[in-house]
Structure formats: C-alpha cells, structure tokens
Structure 1
C-alpha cells in the first residue's frame, strides 16, 4: 500500500530505488564453552579471511573513488589482520580458555584498548587503536553472521536511509550507486543536507520516522525538491520518477556546456561563482564543477577526520595540494571552526549549556593559540603555491579581529625572517554574527574581503537553531531582517573598496539569487553541484533591473512569504 513520508527538501531532484538502511547492527557477544576446538579455529580463520577480503574490496573502491590518501587507512587495517602476534593472541585465548571465537576477539580487544588508551598522547598509537576497533568490529560481524552496512561496498543503485548522514560514511560511497538520501534528522542547512547537495544527490531530511517506517529493499521515490518520500509507488509512478531522473541527466549534460563560461548576467554584470568544500576528497568535484574559485574550504574536517591534532606539515601538504590544483583561481581557506556541534574527539572540551553561543570558531583559536599559530604557519607556507585568502570565522568584535590579525602578522614576520617562500595573501572575515553585520562599515576598513555566512547569520538573527526540528519554521533565509543585514554588509564592503562574498547555503538558492545579484554581491560560493544551474540562471537575469527589486524587498517586505511573492512576480519565467 502506498504511503507518503514528509520531510524537508534538502537536495533537488527525484530518485527511485530500493532502500539501503545504514543501521548499526547488534554485535553483542556472549561467552560459550567450546568442545570442538578445531572446528572453532577453522570458523575463526574463515571469518578472518572474509574480513581481509572485505577490507581489500573497500580499499580498492575508495582508492578509485577518492584517491590513494583515503585508502591508506584500509592498508593499515589489513596489516593488523596479518599481524601474527595479534591474531595468534586471539587463537591462544580460544585454546587456553576453550571459548568461542567472537568472545576471544572481545577479550583481546579489551586488552588492546586498555593498553593503547593509556597512551593517549601518542598520535600513532591512538590511530592504531581506532583502526583496531574497526577491524575487530568487522571480524566480529563475520563471526556472528551479521552484515555491516557500508556504502563503500554498495554495488547496485540504492536509496540510503539513516538517522543522520555522516560525512565519513557518505564520502566513501560510489556516487553512481547512491541515488538518494533519506534521514530522520536534519534541516535544509544541516551538515547532511550540505553534503547531499555537494554530491548532487537528491535528499529528503528531517522525516523523523524514516528509520522506523522503511525496511531494506523497499521501493521508494525520493523527491528532494518537494521534500517527500513515496513508499510503495505504483508502476506508473515508478515510470514517471525514472523519466524525471533521465531528464535530470539530460539537463545536467546541457549544463556541462556552461562549465568553461564566465558568469555574466544578461546585462553584462560579471560575478564569481565559487565552490564550498570540506575535504581534499571534494577537490575533483570542485574542479569538475566549473567553479571559478573555492569560496570556502572548511578546514575543521582535517581535524575532525583525524585521530590527533594535524601537524603543521600535515596541514601544509593539504593546503599546498589544493592551492596548486586550483591555481590561478583563488582559494579562501577558513581557519579552524570547531565548537557548537563540531567537537574534536581527541581533545577534551568543557561542557557548555549553549555551545552554539559558546567557545567556538575564532574564540577557540584565540584561546588555544598554539593550534591557531600552527595552522597559520601552514597556510602562509602554502601561499607560495597559489592564490590564497585566509578567512577568520565568527568574528563578533573588532578586538577579536585585531587579535587574530596580530597573531597572523606575527607568524608571517617570523617566517619572513627565516626566508620561507610565500605569496601574496588576502586576509578576510566571515560575517555570521549580527553584531558584525551591523558594524560592517567598521570591519570593512580592516580586512581585504568579507564573506557572509548565512547559515549562522540566519540562526543568530532569528534565534533559531537550524538543527532543532521544533523551530525549523523560524529558519527563514528570505526574512526581511536577514536581507537588510546582507544589504548592509554588501554596501559597507563596496564603500570601503573591498569585495563581498557569500558562502552560506543561501548563495545557491534560486529565490535568493535575484535579490543578491540586485544588491551587488560579488561572489557566490555554494555546493559544487549547484554551480552550473546557478550560472545558467544568472545568465538569464538583468542585474540592473533587479537592483530595484532588491531595494523594494529590503525596504517594504514584512515577511518571508512577501519576499518570495515579489521575487516570483519579478522573474516568473526564470524561476520555473
């Protein structure tokens, strides 16, 4: 029987396929006394062989889809499975205690964890601990006859259903096999939505019930444009969905023709279309997207995906690679933005009643200057290899900005004294705190550029947590108050003679686009999969005509719906 699951439209497009649940299975083991030891040893060795084969398959696919760097972790895991001391210890437990194989694995795992956990200051051993946990989990699953869901192993087209989408899980997926995403949690600007858009995969998030109502293998149609999931569609509905999917592919091929075009409005106003990226794994998509720059490189994922604080040299190599690949196109790299919902797993952080308004982003960097200085040195050294712009996040006061700039100047002077090669570097700030937007004219005189981070600016202005389903209705990018702040920042930047960009999700929103173009925004930075659609739209718009529309909405509109109505009336044919 057909049912409809409602959620939030997170990533445009329609997808039809079978459900693949990304659930964590029950891997609880119990002790059993074994009488046929040879049988148990043979069972263990078969599971060991199956685990090695599985990890080899994952390594090969990750290497193909994401590159050799991402595959290194699986090489380390396979080495563990061939470590005779480690594997021999499991077999000895089985022989000496006459216990079942999975229980022997748990005993050895407990010992390994105790030994390595006591050496928390050793990054290599902590990484080994993480790898061992992954290995033991796979080995236990094979012994229990349980299948671990793993997007790297998916070999047929599926719709992924999970509570929330995690970047480390999603990036291992083969984009050709993952047709769509459905999650319980999330909102339009949540990390799972941003990730889906960057992969250009249709997604519906915030359903609150997907993992309870959808079963493996069930046929569904995901409509990421309307925000609904059709469960048990009819033959006709499946045919319609697949026709829509085929049309999407055709449209994408047409858009590909715009890849090497400049972004110019119908009346000749040029703007820059840039891409947001979170990891080096995103770089091939960015390069292939037709982006004219990287408008936001979120460096926090270098820290979040690691088992230890990345060293200066580790960071330098990554920044250098990105700058070289994009040269001569500019790259905006945001300094570490953790806190709120992004905490480093290997660093103890103080519990806060309201972490989104606590010690996050630039506040963390100024409080932990050793980490901040290390990142700045890596960035300055990498600047010799491309066009670098450094951006400080969540600046709220002039004192914060000046302190951050002083630390940057100090590190640059030290490296200059050592004759370290470096290039010209622009230093800017994100405007995502209302106080910074209101004082934009003061800030604009002290930076080389400003970039508006609308994801947080909207949340802070309307006092609405974008991850909270109960107040999702308040998260309104078209709210006149938001538009007034954006207009104020753009005007202040231009008065000071500096460019103003936007790197929040609003930059790729087709309703917001005519307004931002009319306000004179210089750079739009968005998910790579949105760039060509945005370029196509801008080429149909008249920037000078839209200036009056932007002025009218800023000065006259009282609600988000009024703004939407005004935009749709002004450019009806373009927004179809």
Structure 2
C-alpha cells in the first residue's frame, strides 16, 4: 500500500482501477515525408475538423457546466484560428520535411513555452490552452492520439499528467469514477469543471505521480487530497464506509428541498443559483434554489456571429423569468472583454485585458449596444420578478449614467405602449477595491450589492488565479478580502439595502458563518451546491 498526497480539488470518494493515460510525448513519432503539400493539406483539414468539434463541445458544455465554465472553448476556437500558430506548423513541415503530427506538437511546445514566459498574467494562462487545442488537432490527424477519455469502456479512475478542459468536460460521468493529475491547482479550469460535474478529483501530485500504476486498485479522496495505491483490506473497508457515508449524505440533502436556510437562532439566508444559459433553469429548480442570483447574459453574444437583437435577448430573458415562476432572477448586463472575447466587438489587443476595456466600460462606451440590452431586460420584467445587475463598477458617476439611460429606456417603452414592471430592483457588483471603498456612496444609488469574490480577490491581492506560479497566493479567505466584504456589508446595512455574494467563495462552507455574522443576506452558487449550503446554514448556532 502506498499513500500519496495532492491537492483536494473536488469532493467525493472513489474506489476502482486506475487508467493511466500515456503522455503524448511518448506517442508522437518524427517521420520523414516527401509530399509537403499533402501534409499541409492534412493539417488544414484537421483544423476544420477541430474547429467543428470545439463548437460542438462548447454548445454541449453550455448545457452541462454553464456559461462561465464553457467560455474557455470559445477562447480555444479563436486560438485555433491564429495564423502565427499555423504558419509555425507549416514551416516545420516544409523546412524539416516531417509529418504533420510531429510539426503540430513542436509548434505546441514552442508556443506554450512562449506564453508561459510572458509577463502578462492573462497571456501566461494561455499556455495550457495551446496544449489543449494541439491535442485536439492531433486527435483529428490520428485517432490513435486521442486520449480516449470520452469513450471509456469501463469504470475507472483516470490519471493523467494534466487534463485539459475539453477532456474534462467530455468525460462520461457514468464511467469516470474520479481523476488525479500530476499538475494543476484547485483553481484550474479542469478542477472547477470537476466540481461543477461532481467528479471527485485530486490534482497537483507532482513527483508522486510517477508512483501510479495502470490497472492498480486505487482510492481517491477528493475531499482530503489523498490517493492510495493498492490499499490493504482494512484501509479498503474504511474508505468503502466513507464512500457510502458520503453517498448517503448526498441522499439526505434531497430531504432539505422545500425548507429554508435559517440558522438555529433564526437568521434567514437566501440561497440562489448562478447560471449562464436558459437551459440551466431546470438544474436550478431541481436543486430547489430560492431564485437566480446571477444570470450571465454573455451567452447571447458568445453564441452569435453578430450582435444579438433586442428580440433575441428579450425572448431569452423572458424564458428564464417565466421558468422561475415568480422567484427573483438577477440578470447581469454583458460582461465581455478580458478572457471573454467575441470577434465582432473588435476589441484591440490589450497588454492587461483583465483591467482593460471590459464589462460596463464597453456598455457605457457603446451605448447603442447597451440600450438594446436594457430595452430587452425592461420588457422582460413584465414576465417575472426581475432584478438587473451591472458589473465592474468603479464610480458613482457610472451608476448615475446607467440610471439615466435606464430611465430613458422606460420612458421610450411607455411612449410605445410596451408593458413592463415599474418597480424592479437594480444593483451593482462589488468586485473592485474602488467599489468597496465607495460602497457608502454607491449604496445610496441602488437596491442591492452582489459581491463578485473571484475578481475582488484577484484585484485586492494582485494575483492571477490561473497563473500556476502564484495560484497558491490566490486566497478568497485572505483577511484583506474578508475586510473588503465586511466593509461593503456594513455600508449596505447602513443604507438599508441587501447584499449578496455571487463569486465562487459563496459556496465555501468555511466562510458561511462569517457571511452570516457580517450581515450577508444572500449567497448565490452553482445549482449543485444549493442544498449543501442550505444544510450548513441550518446547522449554524
């Protein structure tokens, strides 16, 4: 028996045989060729096939893991269309007279290294994405180079040097018991996807990964970060009991449907769900969320080749509002830019896109785009309990400008005889240090705050959570981040408005008591986390 320690990435316990995925480096051979043109045509055909496959994966991911987690595949499609990358592949084929597979892998290593060494944090995060799209190309060139994870023949614990997002999202949950990786962090794309899909996972085994054996009986404890190879009888029995207890716990959570998240001392917390597509409403209702605390509207722009019309947006918002049957739905206006790009926006390349032309900055700069969305939202308010939320706010002036536009939209619709709810709420995301510091003034302008802890943590600590060199410094529990949240909560209470949390740490049960204590009124999480969080609140004294 051998016990290994990694990073706990996704809760749950799995017991089964290990499927060890061979590194591509060991499978790609360098072969001489004579027909350069034919080999280049193979690459071009593979590119078309890979692009079509990524589009299918993206649409499937929207339904399975939501809009935010599926955005990575839109980035991959754009990277796949990069001329420099394909010029490097063609040059390698022409200059060295080698096979397409070898040329793709060489270009992948070259570009991945180049991205990894860049100063800009966003660009460094693209290093793993280059490897992912290259794997996709290779599987199109030669099916034998496919990871095979989407067509496992029997249940297994999957072990790989690293799992790319496209590999993770395509996993057959009925076959994949768990996964372990040599690389990765708790905040990597694959780890986040594993949690969304409820697959136990341990990542970042590092040197201990070499101890794994294909076909070996293995235990994975995704809650503790433990991987046990060839367990003895006593250990096996112990973990079988733990697994059964975990599964029973999941069943017990179902009994909480229809109840409220109220502490033993009578403090009630609203538990809502984050979604990114109208199709996610089914999951929200299935998990008995109190409402939708964050509906990301970007999917309308990411799924289209051009700006979505007012009517297209109206129908999407109306569908969700009607589907929630009177429960509140908070819709965030478009938050494009940074890592969510659409070609037709024509956003110039930026040195630091995370702090650049994005979100409300685009909306207020391109008012015709913003007004179209506001008209669709206000019209939809007649079909349910709507609240509108604005992202990336850094000043009171921005909020006043938004309200002026919103009032003009209401006046125009009234003049046109279009029905809408007169009293829907408006709020802002607290996700920048500026919005926290100004929260006493901002609270006078809106009906609610919603703290986006992902960006607030990133901006407060100056840490890119996708940068593996410093990802350990990305800490939503950092005292500075918690003080920021507390300051916003105090100012919200003074102004008589409510405040919620919609970032990933809303589901961190280690922080639930803190949120209750400082007066947070609402937590919005992935649909699958709603019942666990409700249970946590109910158990608080």
Give the structure-2-normalised TM-score.
Answer: 0.71
DSSP-derived class of the 1:469 partner: coil
**Structure 1 match to 2:509:** 510
Distance 1:203 1:143, change over 3 A: closer
Q: Is the 8 A contact 2:339 2:354 kept in 1?
A: yes
Count of paired positions? 449
Match of 2:405 in 1: 407
* Distance in 1 (alpha carbons) for counterparts of 2:30 and 2:401: 51
| 1:502 to partner: Cα distance | 0.6
Alpha carbons of structure 1 residues 479 and 320: separation in structure 2 relative to 1, 3 Å: same
**1:131-166 deviations in Å (ceiling 9; x for gaps):** xxx9xx89x968955374576655643445664553
Superposed CA deviations along residues 189-226 of structure 1, whole A, max 9, x for unmatched, are: 45544433333332334556899987876654333222
- Equivalent residues in 2 for 1:26-105, closer than 5 Å: none
Q: Note if contact 1:19-1:220 (Cα within 8 Å) is conserved in structure 2.
A: no
Equivalence for 1:273: 271
What are the residue-to-residue correspondences of 1:520-559 with 2, within 5 Å? 520-542=519-541
Whether the 8 Å contact between 2:269 and 2:537 is mirrored in structure 1 is no
- Could you tell me which residue of structure 2 aligns to residue 567 of structure 1? none
1:427 — aligned with what?
Answer: 426
Partners of 1:182 and 1:210 within 8 A in 2: no
| Structure 2 stretches lacking a partner, 5+ long | 36-48, 66-98, 101-132
> Structure 1 residues 269 and 308 mapped into 2: Cα distance closer, same or farther (>3 Å)?
same
Alignment match of 2:220 (pick from 215, 219, 222): 222
Equivalent in the alignment of 2:6: 6
- Across the aligned residues of Structure 1 and Structure 2, the Cα RMSD in angstroms comes to 3.9
Q: Alpha carbons of 1:516 and 1:22: their partners in 2 closer, same or farther (altered >3 Å)?
A: farther
Residue 450 of structure 2 aligns to a residue whose secondary structure is strand
Q: Does 1:473 align with 2:466?
A: no
| Alpha-carbon offset, residue 323 of structure 1 | 1.6
Distance 2:539 2:461 in 1: 32
3-state secondary structure, aligned to 1:384: helix
Partner of 1:395: 393
| Residues 530-562 of structure 1: CA deviation (Å, up to 9, x unaligned) | 2222211211213xxxxxxxxxxxxxxxxxxxx
Q: Per-residue CA shift, 1:261-319, capped at 9, x if unaligned?
A: 01111011111011122333433222111211111122334434555544433333332
Secondary structure of 1:468's counterpart equals coil
Determine the C-alpha separation between the residues in 2 that align with 1:27 and 1:391. Answer: 53
Cα distance, 1:338–1:207 mapped onto 2, change above 3 Å: farther
Question: Shift of the alpha carbon at 1:349?
Answer: 3.3
CA–CA distance in 2 between the matches of 1:184 and 1:374?
A: 47
Can you give the 5+ residue segments of structure 1 that lack an aligned partner in the other structure?
34-50, 68-101, 104-133, 543-576
- Return the match for 2:324 from 307, 323, 326: 326
- Distance in 2 separating the partners of 1:539 and 1:368: 45
Residue number among 133, 154, 157 corresponding to 2:155 in the alignment = 157
1:46 aligns with: none
TM-score by structure 1 length? 0.67
